[in-house]
Amino acid sequence: MNELHQIMKQLTLNIAESKFKAFLEFIKTLDYVEVEDTEEQAIEELQSSLNQVRLMQKGKLPKQSAKDFLDEL
């Protein structure tokens, strides 16, 4: 059986935002680790959203009302 088609386990890690990209690049070099692009993109989008929330909390970005948010959906 091909090694890439073996049963794989999934692991959830909490990585400091400042170290995330370096860690992701490192684990991509490991031949026994599979990183799905869709997960990577989702994580980057989530990090971007969290950064926007932090900027809103600091008053550096305008806050959006719940009504405006729901109207966008």
> Which alpha helices (H) appear in 1-73, and where do they start and end?
17-28, 37-57, 66-72
Q: Enumerate residues 6+ apart whose C-beta is below 8 A from 60.
A: none
Q: Enumerate residues 6+ apart whose C-beta is below 8 A from 50.
A: 17
pLDDT per residue, tens digit, the chain (73 aa), is 455 567 888 888 898 989 988 998 899 899 888 887 767 778 888 888 888 889 988 999 888 888 887 888 7
Please tell me whether the overall predicted TM-score, pTM, comes out greater than 0.75 for this model.
no
